[in-house]
Amino acid sequence: MPIPEGSGIINRKFARQAVYETLRDWIITGVLEPGEKILDQELGEYFSVSRTPVREALQQLQTQKLVQIMPGRATVVAPLDVQDIEKCYRPLAELEALAAELACGHLSEDDFFELEYTLRQSADAAQKDDAVTVVGCDERFHAYIVDAAGNEYLSELTNTLLLHIRRIKYHYFHLASMRQASAQQHGEILLALREKDAAKSKTLMREHWLSAMRGCLGETVAYLRSLEEPTNAQR
């Protein structure tokens, strides 16, 4: 299991949560790739904890469909399922479209300043080919709008779906063409929100996510094929 070198010593009181968050981030960012075996003994040694918090963290990741636990066999990083992309993106498109509609008219000048600053940061990161920062800016942009909608249930639902989508985005946002399309769409959404056009904001946000879904589907299929090529070459 290719975990980072060094020690991950953590506060034992919060061991399970710390192990969970670290593993989640490794899976999302691709440090641990789909199908990678996860060894609880190795993780216990890395974090200097017993197997109990490691197993509890893995169970939490299993409920979120980020790992697959096969009793008596192995625990592996869950595969990227192309069908899951559509299952996540379509409902998220509707939820975020509703958030944009509800947020319209409730964003302050401070909010717009933060949104515009986030877009500038994203543009700078894109020029440096810094996909991690671009993804972070993208998430902050959407989070501001969802928060402005003032509906905690909407926030909870979108965050759950984003957890699964985030893994895909780290591959997807490495494509310059995808980043440029996303940046242009963000600008259009921001303008509609400034104009307090709720209907337009809703429509643009929905199409933004559906457009991302279409791009992700194409990119993910290509990525999964690239993972299969070394295996096929060995046969």
Q: Given this model, what pLDDT does residue 185 score?
A: 96
Of 77, 99, 116, the residue that ends a domain is 77
Is the distance from CB of 123 to CB of 131 less than 8 angstroms?
A: no
Cα 196 to chain centroid distance, Å, stands at 28
Alpha-carbon span 125 to 95, nearest angstrom = 27
Q: How many CB atoms lie within 10 A of CB 50?
A: 12
Task: Report yes or no on 189 lying in a domain.
Answer: yes
Band of pLDDT at residue 175, cut at 50, 70 and 90: low
Check whether residue 72 and residue 106 sit in a common domain: no
Q: How many domains does the chain have?
A: 2
Alpha-carbon span 83 to 30, nearest angstrom = 19
pLDDT, average across residues 138-162: 94
Give the residue, 209 or 167, on which the prediction is more confident. 209
Of 77, 102, 120, the residue that ends a domain is 77
What CATH number did the domain enclosing 119 receive? 1.20.120.530
Task: Report yes or no on 58 lying in a domain.
Answer: yes
Task: Report yes or no on 4 lying in a domain.
Answer: no
Q: Express each pLDDT in 68-125 by its tens digit.
A: 998 878 899 998 777 888 888 999 999 999 999 999 999 999 999 999 999 999 999 8
Check whether residue 71 and residue 120 sit in a common domain: no
Check whether residue 34 and residue 137 sit in a common domain: no
Task: Report yes or no on 51 lying in a domain.
Answer: yes
Cα 206 to chain centroid distance, Å, stands at 18
Task: Report yes or no on 201 lying in a domain.
Answer: yes
Check whether residue 112 and residue 73 sit in a common domain: no
Which domain covers residue 46, as residue numbers? 12-77
Asked if the model's pLDDT at residue 177 lies above 80, the reply is no
Check whether residue 65 and residue 143 sit in a common domain: no
Check whether residue 50 and residue 125 sit in a common domain: no
Task: Report yes or no on 26 lying in a domain.
Answer: yes
Check whether residue 105 and residue 71 sit in a common domain: no
Of 48, 77, 106, the residue that ends a domain is 77
Check whether residue 161 and residue 197 sit in a common domain: yes
Check whether residue 41 and residue 120 sit in a common domain: no
Task: Report yes or no on 7 lying in a domain.
Answer: no
Band of pLDDT at residue 65, cut at 50, 70 and 90: confident
Alpha-carbon span 190 to 60, nearest angstrom = 36
Nearest to 219 by CA among 189, 163, 176, 187: 176
Check whether residue 44 and residue 70 sit in a common domain: yes
What CATH number did the domain enclosing 62 receive? 1.10.10.10
In the chain, alpha helices (H): 15-29, 40-47, 51-63, 82-103, 109-127, 131-148, 152-172, 176-194, 198-234
Q: Express each pLDDT in 4-35 by its tens digit.
A: 655 555 555 578 899 999 999 898 888 898 88
Check whether residue 98 and residue 190 sit in a common domain: yes
Band of pLDDT at residue 1, cut at 50, 70 and 90: low
Check whether residue 17 and residue 59 sit in a common domain: yes
Task: Report yes or no on 235 lying in a domain.
Answer: no
